[in-house]
């Protein structure tokens, strides 16, 4: 399954989660339920993965964590905020660069229209 196939399944799970829960919960709640839905869909799901920073051949654990990784190919950054800012978008791109993965999704569950709150981010490698 390639990144686009995985992304399609992720979007379906996101719509299912927001339909069931609605906006206004903590990020941790959306992350847990989304991970559960993705596992039900037959995807390999890992949560809260430590992401080290490599600087001059030194591996530094500076506290970066990927919210959800699917099939070791796609990162999902889960938010539940009033408004996404530029730093949220840059965070996903940075995680992609550090992990050397191609595709990430930024999703804000604290919204009225979820389709306008899912952002696809691609690592140019």
**Mean pLDDT for all residues in the chain:** 95
pLDDT digits (tens, 9 = 90+) for 97-122: 999 999 999 999 999 899 999 999 99
pLDDT at 125: 63
pLDDT at 124: 82
Give mean pLDDT, residues 85-102.
96
Q: Is pLDDT above 90 for 61? A: no
Q: Cβ-count burial of 100 within 10 angstroms (0-12 exposed, 13-18 middle, 19+ buried)?
A: exposed
- Backbone CA torsion sign across 34, 1, 50, 111: negative
pLDDT at 6: 98
Domains (range + CATH), the chain: 3-122 (3.40.1350)
pLDDT at 103: 98
Q: Is pLDDT above 90 for 74? A: yes
């Amino acid at each position: 399954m390639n990144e686009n196939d995985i992304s399609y399944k992720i979007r379906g799970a996101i719509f299912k989660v927001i339909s069931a829960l609605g906006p206004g919960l903590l990020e941790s709640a959306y992350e847990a339920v989304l991970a559960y839905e993705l596992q039900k869909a037959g995807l390999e799901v890992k949560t809260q993965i430590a992401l080290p920073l490599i600087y001059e051949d030194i591996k530094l654990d500076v506290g970066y964590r990927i919210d959800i990784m699917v099939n070791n190919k796609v990162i999902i950054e889960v938010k539940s905020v009033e408004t996404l800012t530029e730093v949220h978008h840059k965070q996903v791109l940075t995680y992609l660069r550090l992990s050397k993965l191609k595709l990430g999704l930024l999703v804000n569950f604290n919204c009225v229209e979820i389709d306008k709150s899912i952002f696809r981010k691609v690592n140019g490698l």
